[in-house]
Structures are given as C-alpha cells and as structure tokens.
Amino acid sequence: ATELNPYDSESWSNLGNAYFASGLNSQAVTVLEKSIQLDGNNASAHCTMSACLRQPGTMSDSIESARRALRLNSHLVQAHCNLGNSLIGVGDISGAIAAFEQALYLAPNCLEARQSHTFALQYSDRHSAQDILVSAQKLGSIFPYVAPKSTTAPLKTVAFLSGDYLTHPVAFFLDPLLR
C-alpha cells in the first residue's frame, strides 16, 4: 500500500502496526515517523509510536506520544493503556492508575486495561488490599472460571507453580491479600 500511495499516512501507520506486532520496533519507529511526517494528526500513528518507545531511555518520548494521540482522539483506549504503562515506567503510579481508569471507562472489558490497572494498584500507597481484590474480581468477572464437567471431587488445594514465583504477577496480586 505504501508503494501504491507513498503519501498516505494511514498506510504507513498500518505498516508500523504490523512491524510493531512482529516485534520489529526499530522498523516500526521508522515508518511511524514517516506516517507522522505526512500527517501529524494521525492519532493511531502516535499511539503505536508510544508503544514502540516504551523502553528504558525513551519512556518520556513514549509518554509524549501517548498524550499527543489522546489530544487528537481522547477515545483511543490503547493510547490510555500505553500512557498508563509508560507512567508506571517512570514511577508515576497515580497517573498510571488514572490512565487505566479512563481506558476502563471507555472499554470496561478491556483485558489489558483491567490487568494493568490491577497490577498498578499493587504499587499505590493510596489503595488498600481490598481495592486490589475488587479490581482482581472485576478482572475475573471478564473471564470467569468454568470448572470442567468431569470434576467429581471438590477442589481442596490450590497451588501456583512457577520458577520465578517471587517476581511472578500472581505473587504481587496475592501477597497483600494473604497478609
């Protein structure tokens, strides 16, 4: 598409999305820069650029790209998620929680927003274990557990097996609840 119409910002943005989805961030950044050069008001390109830049050394650029995307289109749920995740990266937990809450306001069943919100609450000194539990329950309500029909005995033991349990997300979510 970019060869057929090299001046179409959306085509370059779509190519950037494809590169990003394939883990080719440097290529994604290059074509997203082209997309933004062609149309600085392409909110989708700024949103994807934010995700590409979410790494040490470029976190502030990621935040700025997410904010630019949201100035152009405040209904971009992914831009709110990108902003929240980038704010966590710079230690702004309150700002991250607010970004995830805005994403959840726009899309209450957005898995990324719900998971990230629950995770961010772990680092907040303004939220209790009860707040974390409520958020986790909302996450669970999006994807309820359905017991296999072949179960004949009640579940008596729950075990989490992980080689990295101390850094595993389950440890972060459960630790305050078990204290």
The more confident residue out of 160 and 101 is 101
Distance CA 71, CA 94 (A): 20
Distance CA 121, CA 126 (A): 8
Distance CA 70, CA 177 (A): 35
Distance CA 133, CA 52 (A): 31
Q: Summarize pLDDT for 6-48 with one digit per residue, the tens.
A: 777 888 888 888 999 888 889 999 999 999 999 999 999 999 9
Q: Summarize pLDDT for 77-113 with one digit per residue, the tens.
A: 999 999 999 999 999 999 999 999 999 999 999 999 9
- Tell me the whole-structure pTM to 2 decimals: 0.78
Residues 6+ apart with CB under 8 A from 53: 29, 59, 61, 62, 65, 86
